[in-house]
Chain A
């Protein structure tokens, strides 16, 4: 399996990229068939971080399995936890107090900002520009500090519970978030000035990896990958949960479908996230931060599905319950799994150097794909 390199009968070269590779953002093994420098076929080999989470969750209770999902797509850990908590609340008909709803949405949008910041820095580093990596991590550290004061951790914050949030927010939370927003509004224009208008960057991203709208729907893409091809699929707009129906924000769509469009969609999403936080941060209502629930949760017999919009796309939690304290079967519909399947389709005919730009703009997190 690792020994597949060689030459095919037509004289094409078969090479391995990964699993240990700086540009694959995790352990992704691609077997690429090349004719000169033109790609003829890309075959992803997955499973190098398959931690059998679905089997493990069949022996964890409904309060315990939420935090394993933090480790799946670790860059949007709050949003994953939110999806699981929503599923349990839907099954047990728990009413979440509105203070908790506001806090959850603010945490979600901060996580989305942090994820897009890291995406921006890492993608630019792959293409060859090293400076954006340090700039974006500097801003990301500000969000990490805010999270650490309230939730206690920087990356895998186990903060959401079925019924609300685990602790109340720190007294300095609102002040720090407002300071961060003001600081970042200036910085994101600097990011644009640094990278977006750069002629080398534009040449590497324009018309590279074009994905049409029908293909995006057929391959099951979601999130910014699909929105850059014109598919309107933002779960926050279509099936709003918590207080997303009370805030005003645009769904960013583009029509070209190439890598530059995916890049611009994510940058504009960062601006929209800041707008959402601005609308909510001053209006957090007083009240309970967690609904009173039983200590041991048992979902009634049946099936439940909840969907949330992570930084990568449409994350779904599907639970089949037999009335016990542990789920009978859990399936996590991860956005990266479908986004990766489109890589072979858009990479054919492009050059090998463009593959890195395409993988960067698809924004893959491999533990999310392998589960």
Chain B
């Protein structure tokens, strides 16, 4: 992400000045994507330690409702994004799949922390840990850290918003060359 770019969420479109006011011309897709990305409601789903950092992000110091994640719903029927904060084990995997299936489209997934990304510190010699939440459901954004700082979680949320605004599918993003490749 370029730090010098304009701050996010100006309304997409072009203003044509006419005497007596202006006319805003935009694409329907862009307006819908803008609206979706600015009001993603997360599902309350925290299994272990990353849930505490998620709660810290929700509280007053690193507030996530500035970005539109105001209402954290407990029921998947009303949630847009599921933030998998914590380790997924074999017994919890069907529960996670069921919650994901109950969410209405469009839905997004953020895998927070090392455990949800790849099994984390519990990768070797464990018989009950699923080595990464993407074995169960498709993930949009991965966050590294054990646990990641609240700023890292907010960075991931902003990346998700950028991804939604760009309107590309998963395969299109993979084909794209990264801007700052190192």
Contacts and interface: CB of A to CB of B under 8 A. Distances in A.
A137 B60 contact: yes
Contacts, number: 100
Given A51-B129, A133-B59, A26 B44 contact: no
Interface stretch (A67-75, A223-231, A296-304, A311-319): A67-75
B99 interface: yes
Contacts of B80: none
B61 interface: yes
B15 interface: no
Contacts of A183: none
A152 B147 CA distance: 12
A100 B61 CA distance: 32
B126 A52 contact: yes
B78 to A, nearest CB: 13
Contacts of B147: 154-156
A20 B44 contact: yes
Interface in B42-93: 44-49, 51-53, 55-56, 59-61, 74, 86-87, 89, 91-92
Interface stretch (B117-125, B133-141, B159-167, B172-180): B117-125
Contact of A20 (B45, B48, B56, B122): B45
Of the listed residues B86, B91, B146, the one surrounded by the most CB atoms of chain A closer than 10 A to its CB is B91
Contact of B92 (A27, A71, A154): A27
A71 B95 contact: no
Please classify the interface of chain B as helix (H, G, I), strand (E, B), loop, or mixed, using the class held by over half of its residues.
Answer: loop
A238 interface: no
A44 interface: no
A187 interface: no
Interface in A183-234: none
Contact of B149 (A51, A74, A154): A154
Interface residues of A, number: 37
B182 interface: no
B46 to A, nearest CB: 7
Contacts of A43: none
A52 B71 CA distance: 34
B52 A155 contact: yes
A59 interface: yes
A22 B61 contact: no
A2 B147 CA distance: 30
Given A74-B48, A367-B48, 15 more contacts: A27-B47, A27-B92, A48-B89, A49-B48, A49-B89, A51-B89, A51-B122, A52-B126, A52-B127, A53-B122, A55-B125, A75-B52, A122-B55, A137-B61, A156-B146
Interface of B: 44-49, 51-53, 55-56, 59-61, 74, 86-87, 89, 91-92, 94-95, 99, 121-122, 124-129, 146-147, 149
10 contacts: A20-B74, A20-B95, A50-B128, A52-B127, A71-B49, A71-B121, A74-B52, A134-B59, A141-B59, A367-B49
